[in-house]
Structure 1
Amino acid sequence: MPDGSESSDELVYKRVLLKLSGEALMGPSEFGIHMPTCLSFAEEIASALKNTGVELCLVIGGGNIFRGLQGAANGMERAQADSMGMLATVMNALAMQSALEQIGVPTRVQSAIPMNTVCEPYIRRRAIRHMEKGRVVIFAAGTGNPYFTTDTGAALRAAEMNCHAMFKGTQVDGVYSADPKLDASAERYDQLGYQEVLARDLRVMDASAVSLMRDTNIPIVVFSLHNKGALQEVLLGKGTSTVIS
């Protein structure tokens, strides 16, 4: 696997899973889906596809609409709450599909919970074939099971798709020792090991997701999708990011 350390105009990661939080789709809103923000992300993805030829799939969380853990904390039965959270990810996937297709990017949504009237069921070999044909595949409904987050779902799909890396687009340009918005002295890391992330509880993503990436030897690349051109730069081994490998 590439380690992301080289810097050239050559594609470092040929096939990538991009993980976005549901909150990223809110934009300036306090809830729900802000379509101008979706279109902005879609344009970044379209530019990277056109200029690098990367094969790309996405997983988007559902926290902008409903969080299973929050529902459970408020007295809802956990499995039921998680099912509602999975449905929220389908709504986000369809919104991102709409944004991508508005600018001419062919896209397929595959859901781990079958709902054939709105999207395809998750079929591994079909998803791989879509990417080989230049389509963006958006995986929705997590793993299809309660008690697993979309981070874990993203790690699972990255492994199943034989991805060369899992990219996590965040609000900041990498992994820090503390929240840089709250602590001006927070240190940013260029490279980290999986075990270091787990041992120091850096909360890049769920421990189960980091463990799966470690076991399958797939690097996690953390960067800010809010910086214009950042996705393309990181795909080419440039830009600012933290590589966990």
Structure 2
Amino acid sequence: MTTDEVKARIAAFPFWYHKIELQEGIVTPGWAPINQEAYGIPERLDGKRVLDVGAWDGFWTFEALKRGASQVVAIDDFSDYLGSLDGRDRRAWESFDLCREVLGYSEWQCPRFDMSVYDLRPELFGHFDIIFFFGTIYHLRHPLLALDRLAAVCKEQLYVESAILDDFSPYRGGAGAGYAGGQMVMEFYPGRQYGNNETNWWVPTLACLGYMVKSAGFEDVQGWKLTDSPADLSQCRGFVRGSR
């Protein structure tokens, strides 16, 4: 595929969430991830089998393969439209498939499935060494159930990225009015209270998120914030790594 053909196919999609380098100098016009290094993913994942939950355009699927993963299974149910995205602009797996084609990965190396995290079972795909669960948990009405489903298929480590309440709470005054003292709190949003997005259901504090992961059976749990001084809502994010 020529450079011009790749650019034309990228431009044919009305919306990109991930910024993915497909060829030298050609990057898809998304905005996530904000800071790739902040996720704490090991530099090498040689021989690891990975599950990417909420894969969207596939940034972390392809990143894991670049770092040596043997196979990455991607799942998404396309239920999140960022609160405003027209459903016609969310082309299911088409953007993922384009990236897979241009990057030269096979369907076996990164198969993708339209399914809910709640439907994961060991008998479906077996077990995974590493699981990525990024930008998804706060879109779920049953976050603890989701963590239990992931724990049942995870052998080594679970990485979670989420909106957190430490520096922002819509019920306490917004920016700078969160729960900065490590409180064990999670807020429920029945409407568009958080980010004007009706698919945002729950947001925890970082401490709460860590203990949620621990409750799912991960003994060694570590958490950190995207930044200690977030400038806006998009930076009010946290990470948790749970290890067996």
Do both share a fold (TM > 0.5)? no
Pick the structure with more strand per residue.
Answer: 2
Pick the structure with more helix per residue.
Answer: 1
TM-score, length of structure 2 as denominator length:
0.39
Higher Cα radius of gyration: 2
User: Could you say which structure has the greater relative contact order, defined with CA pairs below 8 angstroms and 6 or more residues apart?
Assistant: 1
TM-score, length of structure 1 as denominator length:
0.39
